[in-house]
Amino acid sequence: MAETRLQESNKERKKVGISNTLMLFIVLVIMIAFFGITSQIKFGQQFFFSILNIIPMLSNISYIGIIACILTMLLITGEMDFSIGGNIGLTSCLAALLLSKGINGVLVVLICLAVGILMGVFNGFIVTRLGVNSIIATIGTMSIWRGIGYTLSNGESMLAFNPVIDYLGRGTIFKYIPFPIILFIIVIILTYIIMNRSKIGRRIYAIGVNPMASYLSGTNVKGIKFLLFIFCGAAASLGGLILTSLSAVGMPQHGQGLELTVVSAVILGGTALSGGKGQILGTLAGVLILSILYNGLTMLNIMYFYIQIIRGIVLILVVATYEIRQSRALRRV
């Protein structure tokens, strides 16, 4: 086993990204098998592998996944957006408020996405034009967005029932497949194509690997980062709308702490915080691992505190494995 792996990685030395992703999917499969089997043993019944579990779980993570895919692109350029959680809170309150004023559902969705884009523009402006470090800038805007959310909602949660909004999170296609999962899949495919096949994807990677060399080769580094901040803003508000739909409630607390969940999933997927490295499929695996871990452990009646500990250990283990593999690959050159 170890030997074949060694041979594999010798052959694939240049493509550390792909084989790391492969590793993640193997971990994922092992995890799924483990939860399936233990659930069977413990309860004598298959709770984990049932449509009743898998489908709601996937719709619950679809909004995280959508944001994670887009954030992966931004992280690859070496920038960060922590304001996504605040964006979700604001969007969800805004949507509920507009609905309560009797505004048409489609219009509400469009307004919220436009506001999301504006939030992205604001982040992009602060980071690329004023030159503020993106971590600091977006921690700042995170607080601003959430504060506006509290102001809009007066701190209360507001019911948000509307056919259009309902469909966004709870509608189904072909009777069984929830609409947010479809959205998630579309985003995965789009971002995958962008990052692996497109011109802008190439520029994103090059910026992450060496911003100076990219700039001196005529790449509009700031422009691309700006664009990705806008994408992030739009993705977060789409996520906020889905979450509003899933909970049927607009509340300023929505998305609290979500930025860390999303960032951990992206990092787990093999994206480097320093930029230049990352794969959309890796992020997909990261999102699935973290949420299946929660789902499976909760299924097994494991206390939340232990789940937190296990999550942390998994994150560190996986990232440490990347580092070890990386340094081995370097030593072999």
Partner 1 sequence: MSKTKLIFILVLAVALIATFSIMPGCTTAQAATEKTVAESESGYALYEQLRGYAQANKEWPEKLAADYSLAFTNIMGGIPFCESVWQNVQDQWKFAGGDPNKLYYADNQYDATMGLQNADILLAKKPDVFINFQFDSKVNSIISNKFSAANIPIIAVDVPTPGAPFMGVNNFQVAYMAGEKAIELVEAAGGIDAIDKIILMQMPSGGEVVMLRSEGFYQAFADKYGADKIDPMTIRGDGGAGEAEQANQALTDILSANPDIENAVLTSVNEQTMSGCIAAVQTAGRWDPEKWIVVTQGCDETGQQQLRDGLTDASVAYFPEKYGEYLIPASVALMNGALVPPFLYVENEVITLDNIDEYYPAK
Partner 2 sequence: MTENNIVLKMEKITKQFPGVLALDSVSIDLKKGEVLGILGENGAGKSTLIKILAGNYIKDSGEIFIDGEKFEINNPGEAMASGIRVIYQELNTLNNLTVAENIFIGEQLVKTGLKIVDWKSMVKKSKIILESLNVDLNPKAVMEDLSVSEKQVVEIAKALSKEAKILVMDEPTAALSEDDTKSLFRIICTLKEKGVSIIYISHRLKEIFEITDRVTVLRDGKKVKTLVTAETNTNELVSLMVGRDIKEMYPKREVPITETVMEVKGLIAEGVNNISFNLKRGEILGVFGLLGSGRTSLVKALFGANPIKSGEIFIKGKKVSIKSPRRARDSKIGLVPLDRKMEGLALALGVKENITLANINDLGRGFLINKKTEALKAEKWADSLNIRTPSINTEVNSLSGGNQQKVVLARWLESGSEIIILNEPTRGIDVGAKIEIYKLMQDLCEKGAAIIMISSELPEILSIADRIIVMSKGRFTDQYTKNEATEEKLLSAACL
Which residue ranges make up the site for partner 1 (CB under 8 A)? 11-12, 15, 18-19, 21-22, 25-26, 28-29, 32-33, 36, 42-43, 45-54, 56-57, 60, 154-159, 243, 246-249, 251, 253-258, 281, 294-295, 298-299, 301, 303-305
Choose the one of partner 1, partner 2, none that binds residue 36, judging by a C-beta under 5 to 8 angstroms depending on kind. Answer: partner 1
Q: Which amino acid would we find at residue 131?
A: G
Q: Does 101 bind partner 2 (CB under 8 A)?
A: no
* Token pair recorded at residue 333: 């050159």
- The position carrying tokens 């659930």 is 39
To the nearest 10°, report the CA torsion of 271, 273, 277, 281. 20
Query: Applying CB under 8 A, which of residues 133, 143, 151, 220 lies at the interface with partner 2?
Result: 220
Choose the one of partner 2, partner 1, none that binds residue 114, judging by a C-beta under 5 to 8 angstroms depending on kind. Answer: none
* Token pair recorded at residue 23: 């590793």
Choose the one of partner 2, partner 1, none that binds residue 99, judging by a C-beta under 5 to 8 angstroms depending on kind. Answer: none
Report, in Å, the least distance between residue 209 CB and partner 2.
Answer: 4
Q: Does 206 bind partner 2 (CB under 8 A)?
A: yes
* Token pair recorded at residue 298: 């909760």
Task: Give me the sign of the Cα torsion angle 140, 142, 144, 147.
Answer: negative
Asked if 153 contacts 252 with a C-beta cutoff of 8 angstroms, the reply is yes
Residue 175 DSSP label: T
Stretch that binds partner 2, among 32-40, 88-96, 218-226, 233-241 (CB under 8 A): 218-226
3-state secondary structure of 87: helix
Choose the one of partner 1, partner 2, none that binds residue 172, judging by a C-beta under 5 to 8 angstroms depending on kind. Answer: none
Report the DSSP pairing between strands 177-178 and 172-173. Answer: antiparallel
Query: What residue ranges bind partner 2 (CB under 8 A)?
Result: 14, 193, 197-200, 202-203, 205-206, 209-210, 212-220, 276-277, 330, 333
